Every structure is written in structure tokens, then in C-alpha cells.
């Protein structure tokens, strides 16, 4: 009954029929007080006096929000309405603390925040007049006011009330932006942002951009996670709580509770050092305190991260977090004896695998009769996490706490607790030579990243003898004490203070180790004096942790997780060099091709096994699907990762999991590889466990997923370097087309020529644009010029090729003659071409990826893929490089250029071209090639030259079977030309029309029979 009435109220508000303001105001009051959003008649007031000496009254006031109602916002004087609302918000803020304001006419809702003396629009919500959604409006309003309590932290609620689209997040983000802008010049803030960027460059390569927006969003995420951690322990983190913002971000209450490693001073506590940081953290805490953090069944911090950091940003950074159901299933399958297994996730992200490993361990311990206090303590010795992403580490630490459970942690008899999740470089990029072979571990405080790219601001090193790494806990205490003492010690007094610390830790100040540590303490004091202080304790203690885990006596029984997926082409130049240096001696660079398809994930797994897994230990990792099938990963699949320095490293692979047919919302096709570290290598089997199913969300538990997913034994087609298979001789004659990208700088459409026309021999053209463009090119202005017609070339792309036929080509401005690509001085003599190309090169230079170093005119001839087409052959056969089906046709255009999504070959005679088209368009060839394709989200992705794994022979004009196929190809071309494709909107639909017509005429059946007979004759 209540729900029905609410729907009626919202329908009246949505209709917005210019009703009197008082009527709309009454409906809003009724909506707020009748809905289950934590409000009642006492907390919602109408006509509240402003108390500024005037007789003005606020239409509706709820908590720290004022609502001003207008008859029609579109008809209202908006600046005047905003000024009126601003006055109300300013008066309330000065008297009672932070207030926000809403302008509404019932249909449109506009949320504002006070920025100094004016209002900033933060969020809007508009009701659909035809189908208004009462629940959506109520969630929007409740998120603004944060009034509900005991909300269960399930994914949907996290997204609605804390996610990026919620007004609550938008308010907090706007305020944090303002705080940062006012404190950006602070040395401590600058240092923490520099260290944050340094680690993310290591984690994410070239895709990471040091942006203020991302730093602020990460700060907001971490502060939210720290508030959640305190709420888990039962602290009131809202405005009425007793904790200060500094207590929350420093983790002092965790220290008092003898819980270490959850919240500590880090990169993101800069906000609490600002004048308005206290009120910001308290208001954020009010939103966090509404949830029941004792009722967590998911890695909710992952949900929070994915809600706040937009999908586009996450995908551009290569951040693909594991679906809950998959992590839960992997832990259950591969951690067979949890009580006897020490397990580590070396790329733990927000802690999804840790969450399920902890829950599995606790369940097994309780079932075995272990007292809960002992079970909690033992869990931290059996489940360990590492990650190089500073935000991920904070989220994972809180996830660890949530997995242990509020009641278990709050036990009055609980012992001291150390949460074993560490910020660290699991791959150990730089440590290969200068740390593992050294008695001293050095952490540089300059601006170099983990790959040695130097900055130069800092020059001091922090050094630690390897001997102090033996006891991880004592090392933590030593570094913490040194960092804390350096906060209050002048550099001139460093020697005396260091001696006291060392004696307390049982280290002789005058010993060799003591001398190293005295110098380090002096450098910490100097850094503090320079305004770069306590962050180094956090930095050192975490960054060195992988070294402790790599000591033989500390290695684990099992590794499990989802390593970073970073393509070689996305790595920085220095990172690529380091990748090659580590990958080559570990047998990961087999074969000369496919370098861009190589991925950090395989090197990461090899290094994790090499450094952290004991002999005989097991590993299981979520990997890109191509790892189990594609040529660049031949060495990885071999299981022989022995180094050329004499180190023996081999594994025995078990059957992989093929997840390519599971639709889950996870943005990449994936697989699971697993096995054991062993004395002898066993190659990854082609036998797999195939998974099939569809889930609407990836964050469901296994109990839900298993009802919609089936598994069965299956096989994958594997391409390995060094394995000889019969191939068609045509493989050497076909080559890829030219990379003409970005398209907006080359591809053109006709433009208005102006009153004087384009001029003789010229065309007025402008950039071809569409909605498939990606940043940064989609944000660049279109080019326009009157270009000489001879330099406007027809270009065939994959989408222009149909079976036995082509669509109209696109046009592109290309600086080339019929025989060669023009040099810069040759371009300059053609005014129209020069005008276009100069602007194209300038735009390219401003926005090109860091990995691209060549000018556009050279880059478009990558591997001579453009110049090889010159002079143009009068007859060429082309086939599509990717897709679900092959399409091939003949091109007879002596000016046309072939783009890289097509493979092409000049044909000596027309009959050979018809012969090839018949074969390449045939179902028997497609059936044999499809298993060799890389798998994308929408099925098979690339054919490339895998088509020649079908060994069809060179055309022989004297062979009757070949002549028959050529005749069928010619007939199919004639029939394809008669099909009307003008009414379809996609090239896929056009291809289907032609194939359907060939089936109807019987030509398709004849080709299938002829190709099948041909292939049988050569096998």
C-alpha cells in the first residue's frame, strides 16, 4: 500500500504540470516521510525560518540538506534561483557545518555544494515522465542525505550509495578536489603523489597517466576503506564519533588494539593535514557508518573500487579484477588442505582470493576444533598477500579484516594480530642483480621508478643489511621505530638516537650492520628536515617484504591469484628492456614474431614460482586466454623455465580451465593455468576443462554461479613455435596491409568547398569521424584542406570486404605516388597535401603514445606494409584478418590501398584469384581455422596467417580440380554482385545476405564439395 502511494506521488512529481509550488512541496514532504529511507516527520521540516534577520523560509529541510522548490526549473530564472538557494546553504553552513542544497520542480532534481561563496552543481536526477522510477529517485535522495542504517553491504547497495554515479560520491569527490587544489603546493602532498605515481608506473606501464583526478579518486577510495576498517571494529566513524581524522588515517587505534598492518600512515593521508580535512573525513564517515560491516559475504572493496574508478579508466589501466565466483571456486579446488598450506597471492588486488582463502582456512580450523582466537592467529600465518598497487594494498588489508570477521577480531582474548598484506614489487625488477646478490638492500629515494628511469629530486639511499630481514616482524618494528624517531630528531643528533634504537633491537651500533643502519637513520632525519618524512617508513617496510618471502625458508606451499595483464606494447621502453632481460633466460621469448602479443602475466607467474614457491608447491592463476593457445607463449607452456645462470626452474602443468565460453561481465576472455613446481618439466596439456554458461553479474558467489555454469572435458588447438605442421605455400605470398591509424588524421569525406571551390585538380575534404574513435583521437579537432586529388586514395578495410565482393572503399589522404612514399621535402611542394599532412603530423606528435617514436609518415609504413603495395598490382586477392567468419574477394583497382585488417596477394592471372577466393570463403577452411583463432569477448578474434595451416596447394592451371574451383569462384563472384545489400546497415548483415544467396543457388554446396576433395587430395 505504501509502495503504491509512493509511486503515485512520484508520478505526480514527474508529470510536472506547472502545479503550484506549495503542492509540489507537500508531495515532496509526503515522499520523504512515507518512504523507508530513515526519515520521519521530525527530521523533515517545511518552511524553516532562515534566521538571518529576514522573513525568508526554506521550503524543505532534512538534516544537512535544504530543498528549494520551483514551479518549473526550465521556466525559472536559474541564476536567481541558485543565488537564493546559495544564501540558504551558506547561512546553514556557517551556523551548523557543511550543508548541501537541492533545486527541484519535482521532475528535475539538481544537487549543489557550496564552494567558497558560490554554488557548484554536483549531480542531477531527472524523472522519466512516461515511466517514472520511484526507487531510483529515493536511492538518489537517500544517498544525498545518508539516513538509512544497517544497510547490508551487497554489490548493488555499494554501487547505489557509494559508487561513482551516486550523489554521495559526487559530493565527496567535489570537496576533495577543492581540498587538493588548495594544498597542491605542499611539499608533503607532492612527495606522496610522486611515490604513488612511481609505483603505479611499475604496475601499469604506459597506460598509467599521473592525473590529479586519479590521485584524488584513489585518496577517496583509501580513506573510505580506512573508515570501513574502523567501523568493522565497532568504532563510530560518523560525525558524532570520538575519533579524529588523524587517528583514523594513521591507524593509531589499531595499534592500541594490537592490530598491525591494516591502517597506517601512507600516500593518501595528506588530506588530514589540511585545514578542512577533519570535516571531510567525518562527513565521509557518516556515509560509511550506515552499513552493517559485520555481514560481508563478498570482496566488497573490489565492488567499491570498480564503482568509483570508471570502467574506461580501469580498462585503460589493464585492471581486471577476478569475479568472486571464480576466486571462490579456485580456492576450493586448489587449496586442498588449508590447515597444512601456506598460500600467497602475489598480485592480490583488492583481496578477492585472500577473502576466500581466509574463509576456507577458518572454516577448516573450526571444524577441526581449533579455538577461534588461535584460528584467527594461525590464519595470518597461512594466507599472505602482495601487490605493487598502493590502493589495492589498502583495500586488500581491509578485505582481510572483513574476511576474519568482526566478532572473531573483537574477541577479548584475541592475541596480537599482524595482517600480512604488503605493498611490494613481486617481480623484483631491479633486485635481480643489485639486491639478491648483495648483503645490503638499498631503497632509492630519488624519483626513479622500479625500472631505473631517473628523476633526480632525491639523492639519498635507505640501506638495510640482509641479516635484519630474517625476522619479518622484528624488521617491521625496526623500520617503524626508525621512521617515527626520525620525525623528532635533528640530523646532527642522528648518531646518538640511532644507537639507542639499535641497542634496543639487539644490534651493536659499532658493528658492520649497525653502521649501515646508522647511515640510514641519518638519511631519514635528513629527509624529514627536507619536508619529506614519515612516508619512508611505510614505503621501506612494504617494498622489501617480497625479499623476506623469497628466502628459501619462508617460501609458501601454494600461489594463487590473477597476475597483472599488461601487453608488451603497453610497457614503457625501459620496462620492455627489463621484461626482455628477465623473460629471455626463462625461455619466454621463443620465436621471432608476436612480441606485441607477449604479456606480463606469464613473466609474473614464472617469477612468482621462482621466488616464492617451495619445491613441490602448487600454483593456480587466472590468465589471458591466449596463454593456453598462442605462439608467443610457447616457452611458458613448455614448463621449462630454467635460467641460463644455471638455476633450475621447471613445473608440471595440469589440465587448464578454458573459460572462453563463460559470459560473466568480466571484460576479457580468460583461462586458469595450474600445476606444481617439480624437478622435471611437463608441458601444458591440450586437454582442458571447458566451462560454459552465462551470468548477469561477475560478483555472485559460487553457490549462485554453479547453477548456471557447466563443465566438461575439452581440447584446445595450440600453436607452438618449433612444431612443424603442413602449411599452404601461399603463406609466404600474402602479407598484411598498412596500419593507417589514427583514422581521423588520414581518412576523409568530402567537405563544402566554399564560394571559390577547391581549385582545379583538388577536393575539399575533412576528417572522417565516427563513434568508434578512442581517446585521445576522439577529442582532437577534425582536419580540413583542399587536397590534390592524386593524393586522395581509395582504401579497403576489413569492413569493405564481403564474400566474393567488395563494398565502396573509404578515402584517405596519403602522401604517396604510384611508386613510392613521399619524403618530407617532396610533400612540401604540393600545397594542398602539405597543408593537410603538416597538421596531421603536428596532431600525431602532440598525442601519440609514448612507445611511438616515428613521425606519422614513417609509422604508416611499419614493416614496409604500405610501400610493399607499390606499384599496385592490377589484380589482388584479399581476405579478412579477423572476425567470426572468413571473407575474401578480388580487388581490381590500381590506385587502391589495403589496410591492415586485410591480408593481400597479387594474383598472376584471374583464374588463380578465383581459385583462392573459392577456397578462402569456404566452410571447410573456416572449420579448420576457427580453433586456431585467438578468443575475444565475442568469440574468435584473429585469423591472420593461421588460414595457411590448411595446406591447400598453389594454383595449377593444368589441374582439372583447380580449374573447377576457379570456375566456381568466378560463378560465385557473378552471383554475389547481383545481391542487393543497400538496405542493410552493417557489413556483417551484407555478408550473411550473400552467403544465403550462394546457398540458395547451390554454388555454396558445390564449393564445399570441391574444396573438401582438394584438401583430401593433399593430406
3-state secondary structure 834-852: HHHHHHHHHHHHHHCCCCC
The CA–CA distances, whole Å, from 1018 to 551, 728, 1012, 1014 equal 57, 10, 10, 7
pTM metric for this prediction? 0.74
Q: What is the pLDDT of residue 433?
A: 42
For 120, the 3-state DSSP assignment is strand
3-state secondary structure 289-350: CCECCCCCCCCHHHHHHHHHCCHHHHHHCCCCCCCHHHHHHHHHHHCCCHHHCCEEECCCCC
Give the number of other CB atoms < 10 A from CB of residue 457: 13
| C-alpha triplet 397, 401, 402: angle, nearest 5° | 115
For 476, the 3-state DSSP assignment is helix
Nearest Cα neighbor of 697 from 287, 52, 159 is 159
Residues 651 and 682 sit within 8 Å (Cβ to Cβ): yes
Q: H or E segment at 621?
A: strand 613-624
Residues 920, 910: Cα–Cα separation, whole Å: 15
Highest mean pLDDT among 84-93, 202-211, 341-350: 341-350
Q: What is the pLDDT of residue 650?
A: 96
The CA–CA distances, whole Å, from 285 to 271, 381, 635, 649 equal 14, 32, 50, 49
Q: What is the pLDDT of residue 936?
A: 53
295-309, 416-430, 931-945: least confidently modelled range: 931-945
CATH 3.90.1570.30 assigned to domain 2-147? The reply is yes
For residues 849-858, average pLDDT: 85
Nearest Cα neighbor of 159 from 291, 268, 325 is 291
For 969, the 3-state DSSP assignment is helix
* 1019 has a pLDDT exceeding 70: no
* 436 has a pLDDT exceeding 80: no
Q: What is the pLDDT of residue 95?
A: 72
Q: What tens digit of pLDDT does each residue of 646-671 get?
A: 678 999 999 999 998 887 656 678 89
- By DSSP bridging, strand 670-678 and strand 656-663 are antiparallel
For residues 722-727, average pLDDT: 72
Nearest Cα neighbor of 307 from 175, 143, 197, 119 is 143
Residues 508 and 468 sit within 8 Å (Cβ to Cβ): no
Which residue reads 577517496 in cell numbers? 220
The CA–CA distances, whole Å, from 233 to 257, 350, 361, 407 equal 10, 19, 21, 9
H helix intervals, 163-299: 167-183, 187-204, 212-232, 245-250, 252-256, 277-288
Residues 51, 952: Cα–Cα separation, whole Å: 90
pLDDT band at 885 (very low <50, low <70, confident <90, very high): confident
Here the cell at position 473 is 616482524
Residues 656, 716: Cα–Cα separation, whole Å: 10
Q: H or E segment at 109?
A: strand 108-115
Q: What tens digit of pLDDT does each residue of 551-570 get?
A: 888 899 999 999 988 888 77
The CA–CA distances, whole Å, from 810 to 14, 69, 740, 746, 768 equal 47, 54, 12, 10, 9
Helix 472-486 vs helix 535-543: crossing angle, to nearest 10: 160
For residues 288-294, average pLDDT: 84
* 303 has a pLDDT exceeding 50: yes
Q: What is the pLDDT of residue 54?
A: 65
For residues 989-1012, average pLDDT: 93
What is the DSSP code (8-state) at residue 464? E
Here the cell at position 276 is 578542512
Distance from first CA to last CA of the chain, Å, rounded?
75
| C-alpha triplet 8, 14, 15: angle, nearest 5° | 90
Q: Phi, psi (5° rounding) for residue 535?
A: -60, -25
Q: What is the pLDDT of residue 958?
A: 94
For 736, the 3-state DSSP assignment is strand
Residues 271 and 178 sit within 8 Å (Cβ to Cβ): no
For residues 390-413, average pLDDT: 86
* 515 has a pLDDT exceeding 60: yes
Here the cell at position 511 is 658493528
For 182, the 3-state DSSP assignment is helix
Residues 969, 982: Cα–Cα separation, whole Å: 23
Q: What percentage of the chain has pLDDT greater than the value 70?
A: 90
For residues 837-864, average pLDDT: 90
Highest mean pLDDT among 210-219, 439-448, 804-813: 804-813
* 446 has a pLDDT exceeding 70: no
* 457 has a pLDDT exceeding 50: no
Of residues 831 and 454, more confidently modeled: 831
Q: What is the gyration radius of the CA atoms in the chain, in angstroms?
A: 33
For residues 479-505, average pLDDT: 87
Highest mean pLDDT among 300-304, 438-442, 630-634: 630-634
| Burial class of 689 by CB neighbour count within 10 A (0 to 12, 13 to 18, 19+) | middle
Here the cell at position 404 is 576474519
What is the DSSP code (8-state) at residue 884? S
Give the number of other CB atoms < 10 A from CB of residue 750: 12
Of residues 624 and 429, more confidently modeled: 624
Name, in order, each residue with C-beta under 8 angstroms of 356's C-beta and a sequence gap of 6 or more. Answer: 324, 327, 328, 331, 332, 403
Give the number of other CB atoms < 10 A from CB of residue 37: 18
Residues 949, 410: Cα–Cα separation, whole Å: 63
Instruction: Characterise 621 by phi-psi region: left (phi > 0), alpha (psi -120 to 50), beta (else).
Output: beta
H helix intervals, 712-823: none
Q: What is the pLDDT of residue 437?
A: 52
Residues 1008, 1005: Cα–Cα separation, whole Å: 5
* 790 has a pLDDT exceeding 90: yes
Residues 790, 872: Cα–Cα separation, whole Å: 14
Residues 657 and 688 sit within 8 Å (Cβ to Cβ): yes
- By DSSP bridging, strand 44-49 and strand 57-62 are antiparallel
* 258 has a pLDDT exceeding 70: yes
Residues 254 and 260 sit within 8 Å (Cβ to Cβ): yes
Q: Phi, psi (5° rounding) for residue 489?
A: -115, 130
For residues 505-527, average pLDDT: 90
| C-alpha triplet 120, 121, 127: angle, nearest 5° | 165
Nearest Cα neighbor of 57 from 29, 91, 95 is 91
Name, in order, each residue with C-beta under 8 angstroms of 958's C-beta and a sequence gap of 6 or more. Answer: none
Residues 784, 753: Cα–Cα separation, whole Å: 10
Q: What tens digit of pLDDT does each residue of 174-230 get?
A: 889 999 999 999 888 888 888 788 767 765 666 677 889 889 989 998 999 899 888
Q: What is the pLDDT of residue 864?
A: 92
Residues 24, 160: Cα–Cα separation, whole Å: 26
What is the DSSP code (8-state) at residue 734? -
Instruction: Characterise 899 by phi-psi region: left (phi > 0), alpha (psi -120 to 50), beta (else).
Output: beta
Q: What tens digit of pLDDT does each residue of 126-170 get?
A: 999 888 899 889 888 888 887 777 888 887 888 888 888 888 888
Here the cell at position 838 is 603538416
Instruction: Please tell me the total number of residues recorded for the chain in this structure.
Output: 1019
Residues 799, 807: Cα–Cα separation, whole Å: 8
For residues 330-350, average pLDDT: 95
Q: What tens digit of pLDDT does each residue of 936-969 get?
A: 544 556 778 889 888 999 999 999 999 999 999 9
Residues 474, 923: Cα–Cα separation, whole Å: 67
Residues 423, 123: Cα–Cα separation, whole Å: 35
* 299 has a pLDDT exceeding 80: no
Name, in order, each residue with C-beta under 8 angstroms of 522's C-beta and a sequence gap of 6 or more. Answer: 491, 494, 495, 498
Residues 607 and 578 sit within 8 Å (Cβ to Cβ): no
Q: What percentage of the chain has pLDDT greater than the value 90?
A: 42
pLDDT band at 289 (very low <50, low <70, confident <90, very high): confident
> Any idea where the domains of the chain sit in the sequence?
2-147, 174-423, 431-552, 563-715, 735-1017
Q: What tens digit of pLDDT does each residue of 244-254 get?
A: 888 898 888 88
pLDDT, the chain, mean: 86
Which residue reads 635528513 in cell numbers? 526
Amino acid at each position: 500500500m505504501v509502495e503504491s502511494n509512493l509511486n503515485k506521488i512520484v508520478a505526480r512529481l514527474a508529470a510536472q504540470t506547472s502545479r503550484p509550488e506549495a503542492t509540489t512541496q507537500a508531495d515532496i514532504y509526503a515522499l520523504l516521510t512515507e518512504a523507508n529511507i530513515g526519515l520521519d516527520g521530525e527530521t523533515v521540516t517545511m518552511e524553516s525560518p532562515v534566521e538571518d534577520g529576514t522573513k525568508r523560509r526554506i521550503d524543505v529541510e532534512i538534516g544537512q540538506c535544504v530543498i528549494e522548490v520551483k514551479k518549473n526549473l526550465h521556466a525559472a530564472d536559474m541564476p536567481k534561483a541558485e543565488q537564493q538557494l546559495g544564501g540558504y546553504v551558506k547561512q546553514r553552513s556557517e551556523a551548523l557545518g557543511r550543508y548541501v542544497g537541492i533545486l527541484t520542480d519535482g521532475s528535475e532534481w539538481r544537487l549543489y555544494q557550496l564552494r567558497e561563496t558560490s554554488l557548484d552543481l554536483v549531480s542531477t536526477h531527472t524523472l522519466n515522465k512516461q515511466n517514472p522510477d520511484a526507487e531510483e529517485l529515493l536511492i538518489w535522495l537517500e544517498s544525498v542525505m545518508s539516513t538509512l542504517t544497517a544497510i547490508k553491504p551487497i554489490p548493488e547497495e555499494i554501487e547505489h550509495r557509494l559508487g561513482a554515479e551516486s550523489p554521495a560520491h559526487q559530493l565527496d569527490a567535489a570537496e576533495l578536489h577543492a581540498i587538493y587544489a588548495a594544498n597542491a603546493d605542499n611539499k608533503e602532498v607532492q612527495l606522496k603523489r610522486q611515490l604513488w605515481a612511481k609505483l603505479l608506473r611499475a604496475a601499469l606501464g604506459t597506460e598509467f597517466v599521473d592525473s590529479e583526478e586519479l590521485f584524488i579518486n584513489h585518496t577517496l577510495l583509501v580513506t573510505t576503506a580506512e573508515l570501513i576498517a574502523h567501523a568493522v571494529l565497532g568504532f563510530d566513524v560518523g560525525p558524532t564519533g570520538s575519533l579524529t581524522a588523524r587517528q583514523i588515517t594513521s591507524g593509531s587505534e589499531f595499534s592500541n588494539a594490537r592490530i598491525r598492518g591494516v591502517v597506517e600512515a601512507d600516500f593518501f593521508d595528506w588530506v588530514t593535514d589540511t585545514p578542512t580535512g577533519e570535516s571531510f573525513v567525518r562527513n565521509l564517515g557518516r556515509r560509511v557508518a550506515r552499513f552493517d560491516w559485520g555481514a560481508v559475504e563478498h570482496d566488497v572493496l573490489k565492488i567499491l573500487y570498480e564503482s568509483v574508478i570508471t570502467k574506461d579508466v580501469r580498462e585503460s589501466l589493464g585492471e581486471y579484477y577476478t569475479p568472486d565466483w571464480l576466486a571462490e571456486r579456485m580456492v576450493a579446488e586448489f587449496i586442498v588442505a588449508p590447515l597444512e598450506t601456506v598460500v600467497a597471492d602475489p598480485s592480490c588486488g583488492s583481496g578477492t582470493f585472500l577473502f576466500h582463502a581466509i574463509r576456507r582456512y577458518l572454516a577448516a580450523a573450526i571444524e577441526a576444533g581449533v579455538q577461534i582466537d588461535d584460528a584467527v592467529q594461525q590464519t595470518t600465518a597461512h594466507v599472505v598477500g602482495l601487490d605493487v598497487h598502493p590502493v589495492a594494498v589498502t583495500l586488500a588489508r581491509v578485505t582481510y579484516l572483513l574476511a576474519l570477521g568482526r566478532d572473531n577480531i573483537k574477541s577479548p582474548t584475541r592475541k596480537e594480530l599482524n595482517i600480512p598484506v604488503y605493498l611490494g614489487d613481486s617481480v623484483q625488477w631491479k633486485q635481480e642483480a643489485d639486491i639478491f646478490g648483495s648483503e645490503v638492500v638499498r631503497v632509492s629515494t630519488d624519483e626513479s621508478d622500479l625500472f631505473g628511469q631517473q628523476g633526480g629530486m632525491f639523492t639519498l639511499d635507505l640501506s638495510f643489511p640482509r641479516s635484519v630481514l630474517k625476522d619479518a616482524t622484528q624488521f617491521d618494528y625496526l623500520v617503524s621505530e626508525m621512521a617515527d624517531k626520525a620525525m623528532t630528531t635533528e640530523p646532527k643528533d642522528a648518531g646518538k638516537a640511532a644507537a639507542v634504537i639499535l641497542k634496543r633491537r639487539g644490534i651493536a651500533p659499532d658493528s658492520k650492520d649497525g653502521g649501515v643502519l646508522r647511515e640510514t637513520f641519518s638519511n631519514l632525519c635528513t629527509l624529514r628536515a627536507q619536508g619529506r618524512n614519515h612516508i619512508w617508513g611505510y614505503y621501506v617496510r612494504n617494498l622489501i617484504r617480497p625479499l623476506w618471502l623469497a628466502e628459501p625458508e619462508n617460501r609458501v606451499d601454494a600461489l594463487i591469484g590473477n597476475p597483472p595483464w599488461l601487453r608488451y606494447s603497453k610497457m614503457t621502453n625501459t620496462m620492455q628492456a627489463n621484461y626482455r632481460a628477465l623473460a629471455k633466460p626463462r625461455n619466454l621469448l621463443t620465436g621471432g614474431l608476436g612480441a606485441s602479443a607477449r604479456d606480463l602475466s606469464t613473466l609474473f607467474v614464472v617469477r612468482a614460482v621462482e621466488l616464492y614457491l617451495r619445491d613441490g608447491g602448487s600454483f593456480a592463476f587466472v590468465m589471458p586466454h591466449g596463454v593456453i593457445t598462442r605462439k608467443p607463449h610457447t616457452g611458458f607452456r613448455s614448463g621449462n623455465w630454467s635460467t641460463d645462470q644455471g638455476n633450475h626452474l621447471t613445473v608440471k602443468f595440469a589440465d587448464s580451465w578454458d573459460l572462453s565460453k563463460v559470459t560473466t561481465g568480466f571484460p576479457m576472455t580468460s583461462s586458469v593455468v595450474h600445476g606444481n613446481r617439480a624437478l622435471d618439466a611437463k608441458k601444458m596439456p591440450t586437454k582442458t576443462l571447458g566451462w560454459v554458461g552465462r551470468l548477469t553479474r561477475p560478483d555472485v558467489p559460487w553457490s549462485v554461479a554453479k547453477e548456471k555454469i557447466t563443465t566438461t572435458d575439452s581440447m584446445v588447438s595450440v600453436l607452438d613455435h618449433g612444431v612443424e605442421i603442413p602449411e599452404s605455400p601461399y603463406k609466404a605470398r600474402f602479407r598484411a596491409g598498412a596500419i593507417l591509424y589514427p583514422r581521423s588524421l588520414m581518412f576523409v569525406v568530402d567537405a563544402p568547398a566554399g564560394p571559390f571551390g577547391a581549385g582545379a585538380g583538388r577536393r575539399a575534404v575533412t576528417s572522417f569521424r565516427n563513434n568508434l574513435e578512442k581517446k585521445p583521437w576522439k577529442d582532437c579537432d577534425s582536419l580540413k584542406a583542399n587536397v590534390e586529388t592524386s593524393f586522395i586514395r581509395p582504401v579497403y578495410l576489413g569492413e569493405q570486404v564481403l564474400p566474393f565482393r567488395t563494398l565502396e572503399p573509404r578515402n584517405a589522404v596519403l602522401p604517396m605516388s604510384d611508386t613510392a612514399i613521399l619524403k618530407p621535402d617532396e610533400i612540401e611542394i604540393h600545397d594542398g597535401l602539405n597543408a593537410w599532412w603538416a597538421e596531421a603530423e603536428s596532431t600525431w606528435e602532440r598525442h601519440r603514445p609514448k612507445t611511438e617514436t616515428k613521425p606519422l609518415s614513417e609509422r604508416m609504413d611499419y614493416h614496409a606494409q604500405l610501400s610493399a603495395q607499390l606499384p599496385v598490382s592490377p589484380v589482388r586477392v584479399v581476405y579478412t584478418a579477423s572476425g567470426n567468419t572468413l571473407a575474401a574477394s578480388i580487388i581490381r583497382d590500381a590506385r587502391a590501398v589495403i589496410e591492415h585488417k586485410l591480408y593481400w596477394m597479387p594474383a598472376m592471372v584471374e583464374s588463380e584469384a578465383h581459385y583462392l577466393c573459392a577456397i578462402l570463403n569456404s566452410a571447410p577452411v573456416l572449420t579448420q581455422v576457427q580453433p586456431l583463432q585467438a578468443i575475444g569477448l565475442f568469440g574468435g578474434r584473429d585469423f591472420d596467417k593461421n588460414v595457411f595451416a590448411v595446406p591447400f596447394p598453389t594454383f595449377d592451371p593444368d589441374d582439372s580440380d583447380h580449374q573447377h574451383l576457379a570456375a566456381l569462384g568466378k560463378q560465385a563472384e557473378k552471383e554475389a554482385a547481383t545481391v542487393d545489400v543497400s538496405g542493410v546497415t552493417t557489413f556483417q548483415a551484407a555478408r550473411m545476405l550473400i552467403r544465403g544467396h550462394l546457398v540458395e543457388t547451390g554454388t555454396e554446396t558445390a564449393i564445399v564439395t570441391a574444396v573438401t576433395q582438394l584438401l583430401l587430395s593433399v593430406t
